[in-house]
Amino acid sequence: MAPTSFSLELNTPVYRGTVSVDTRLFIGGSFVVPVESGEIEVVNPSTTKVIASVYAGTAEDVDLAVAAAKKAYKNSWGLKVPGTERARLLKQVADLLEANVDEFAALEALNVGKPFMMAKNMDLKFAVSTLRYYAGWADKVGGKTIETNETKFSYTRREPYGVVGNIIPWNLPLLLLCNKLAPALAAGNTVVIKPSEVTPLTALKFAEIVSQAGFPPGVVNIVNGYGNTVGDAIAHHHDISLVSFTGSTVVGRKIQEAAAKSNLKVVHLELGGKSPNIIFDDANLEQAVKWSSSGIFFNMGQACIAGSRIFVQAGIYDKFIAEMTKVAQNLGSHTGDPFEETTQHGPQVSQVQFDRVMGHIRSAKTAGATIHVGGYQHGNGGYFIQPTIITDVKPEMKAVKEEIFGPVASLIKFETEEEVIEMANNTTYGLACGVFTENNSRAIRVVHALEAGMAFVNCYGLVDVQVPFGGYKQSGIGREWGQEGIEEYMQVKAVHVNLGLKI
């Protein structure tokens, strides 16, 4: 049996102190061991060493978690608790998360390989903001009255679904947990959460502050486990009314199929991307290079909105690639230990992901592309991959068609606006896009023509919690963040009141 807790003393340039996590499942307001014995080894991707073991749940544990969530929804949450109280509890969680930001950032650095300063100043900051933003929405959800005729009064009312399932990926584990949990709870739902088996530590630590904040038992439940057991059980469960998943399009299809075969639960999917980023001749070259580099190399390329297909107009193509090469090489010199203050680029999250990214690089080279810079493992230990730029690519290459989810950019030369719009839209994905130009009319014209749920003009990846996040085509269904984010977790009831009509 795995130990029931994990504790480690750290003495690093950016964090000195202890990190500790209860490694059990969190069900009904308490940490519990699973029904069946099972555990998952947690690996530090910077060293490839096992740092902890957490308990692994099964479908039976999902049943227990759903039962606890269902009981809480009926007796101590849902419409029984006013929005002001839901808001107070969410704010309390946000305050506790902010008060413990360094420990959470250290756990992300250990478990994800994310540079500590990035985790603290970006992921944790956004997580806290998301909790507070949806706390602000909790008491502001309303319906509307609808004019029909003088003999009838009609109105709508927004109600929670009940028990919802949240399945969290490994690339931004705590932030994406908050992206789902905050609007779900603000709307009055109870939740059963499956963190990624690769990165469970911050989710389990988060359970501690949920308990400290005073949420009623069963409102939040966290079940560690694998996708083919815990994830599958959530997707098929008849007492879960909505499932929200962030991850690959392949798994998204399986979840949608499971929902259809079980109780036709509502499905919210935030899936993959192969986003185009278009640089026109008249763009501010320095800014275009900086934003484009950030757009693909952020989080070691492990981001669904990564601008991985960079289209550069012929007039500045050579200058652009020369300047982006300098950025990639400089980033390579700041690759390493996530606990060093100057580190800007960490490892891929796991051996599986490392092998997958390196496989894409080899495939591109075999298909005739040029590895312009990077393309190799960085150092002799850990899952580090050099920031990589690929040129001489063709539309049919895997590197251009498939999501790599690593620090690999494909640079493509184009001549005309019409040509680049057609090339950019030639994908099954539609999550994000970017356009760099000093011509405002062109910028608006092009982003309107691109088939994507989010568009960035003269920037890339500059998101805000107040603005909806989501994609077109096979990049997903539904939206996170913004007003749309909380509306995903509510259903509309229409009420018709007779004011005297007799038949």
The secondary structure element, H or E, covering residue 6 is strand 5-11
Closest CA to 2 of 34, 48, 28: 34
> DSSP secondary-structure letter at 227?
I
Is residue 404 a contact partner of residue 357, using CB atoms and an 8 Å limit?
Answer: yes
Closest CA to 460 of 268, 275, 254: 275
Q: Residue 358 and residue 376: Cα distance in Å, rounded? A: 8
Which string of DSSP letters, residue by residue, matches 228-297? IIIIHHHHH-TT--EEEEES-HHHHHHHHHHHHHTT--EEEEE-----EEEE-TTS-HHHHHHHHHHHHH
Return the residue matching tokens 């994905």.
Answer: 429
Torsion angle, CA of 186/188/192/195, rounded to 10 degrees? Answer: -10
CB proximity list for 340: less than 8 A, separation 6 or greater = 12, 13, 14, 115
Q: Residue 238 and residue 231: Cα distance in Å, rounded? A: 14
Q: Residue 496 and residue 492: Cα distance in Å, rounded? A: 13
Angle between helices 101-112 and 83-99 (to 10 degrees): 70
> DSSP secondary-structure letter at 38?
-
Q: Residue 7 and residue 12: Cα distance in Å, rounded? A: 16
Residue tagged active-site, from 103, 108, 197, 270 = 270
Q: Is 438 helix (H, G, I), strand (E, B) or coil?
A: coil
Q: Residue 193 and residue 168: Cα distance in Å, rounded? A: 7
> What burial class does residue 435 get, using C-beta atoms within 10 Å of its C-beta: 0-12 exposed, 13-18 middle, 19+ buried?
buried
Torsion angle, CA of 298/304/309/313, rounded to 10 degrees? Answer: -70
The verdict on whether 270 is a catalytic residue reads yes
Active-site annotation, residues: 270
